């Protein structure tokens, strides 16, 4: 043997490609562009990721890991297991993510609007994320003592969608503040407390 085999090359590829995909859109970024940006040979990229779909799926899986990590970091700060506090934390985490300077939208939602008819692995990863997030909200709201849990969950979900969408446009901070405040008011109104 010679040259230790691939130290952190896979991570580097994934990170670089992910940045390009997120910033410019998946379809707008070609494989050659990824290779140029990484500064590696075609061989290396195609051994790690046999096709663009594989690379895109890995990119979305990495986004998922990052989202779960960030979400966990936020929710584990809330003491006890007060569902209302967890809901506020959940929305607060999204608001915090959305106000980061390089935010351009939710990676999964962006992918799904770019490939509305995709049924492959990337679309599965994206749809799973949306389903799981929605389920998390439903589960938390169900533990609340409110008269119409379904309606409240629907409303919070609507606000989350609105936050992701409008934070991608100018006025990000205002959108984040509006969403958090609105969810807080909704929770305050709904729970007798």
Token readout for 42 is 């075609």
117 counts as binding DNA under rule CB under 7 A: no
31 counts as binding DNA under rule CB under 7 A: yes
Q: Residue 100, class by beta-carbon neighbours within 10 Å (0-12 exposed, 13-18 middle, 19+ buried)? A: exposed
178 counts as binding DNA under rule CB under 7 A: no
With respect to its own copies, which residue has the nearer C-beta, 64 or 127?
127
**Looking up tokens 């409008």, which residue turns up?**
166
Contacts of 93 (CB under 8 A, 6+ apart): 70, 71, 73, 74, 75
Binding footprint of its own copies on the chain (CB under 8 A): 23-25, 27-28, 104-105, 109-110, 112-117, 130, 151, 154-155, 157-166, 168-169, 174-175, 178-179, 181-182
Annotate 101-138 with b (16+ C-beta within 10 A) or e (fewer): eebebbbbbbbbeebeebeeebbebbeebbeebbeebb
**In the complex, minimum distance from the CB of residue 149 to DNA, in angstroms, rounded to a whole number:** 44
37 counts as binding DNA under rule CB under 7 A: no
With respect to DNA, which residue has the nearer C-beta, 1 or 117?
1
**In the complex, minimum distance from the CB of residue 54 to DNA, in angstroms, rounded to a whole number:** 8
**Residue ranges that bind DNA, judged by CB under 7 A:** 1-6, 9, 29-33, 39-44, 46-47, 50-53
């Amino acid at each position: 043997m010679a040259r230790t085999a691939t130290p952190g090359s896979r991570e580097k590829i994934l990170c670089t490609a992910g940045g390009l995909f997120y910033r410019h859109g998946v379809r707008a970024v070609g494989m050659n562009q990824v290779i140029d940006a990484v500064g590696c040979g075609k061989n290396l990229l195609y051994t790690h990721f046999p096709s663009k779909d594989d690379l895109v799926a890995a990119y979305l899986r990495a986004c998922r890991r990052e989202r779960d990590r960030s979400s966990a970091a936020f929710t584990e700060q809330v003491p006890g297991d007060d569902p209302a506090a967890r809901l506020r934390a959940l929305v607060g985490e999204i608001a915090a993510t959305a106000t980061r300077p390089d935010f351009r939208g939710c990676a999964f939602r962006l992918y799904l609007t770019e490939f509305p008819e995709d049924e492959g692995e990337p679309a599965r990863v994206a749809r799973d994320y949306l389903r799981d997030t929605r389920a998390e909200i439903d589960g938390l709201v169900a533990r609340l003592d409110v008269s119409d849990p379904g309606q409240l969950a629907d409303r919070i979900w609507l606000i989350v969608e609105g936050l992701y969408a409008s934070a991608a446009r100018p006025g990000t901070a205002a959108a984040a503040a509006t969403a958090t405040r609105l969810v807080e008011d909704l929770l305050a109104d709904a729970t007798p407390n």
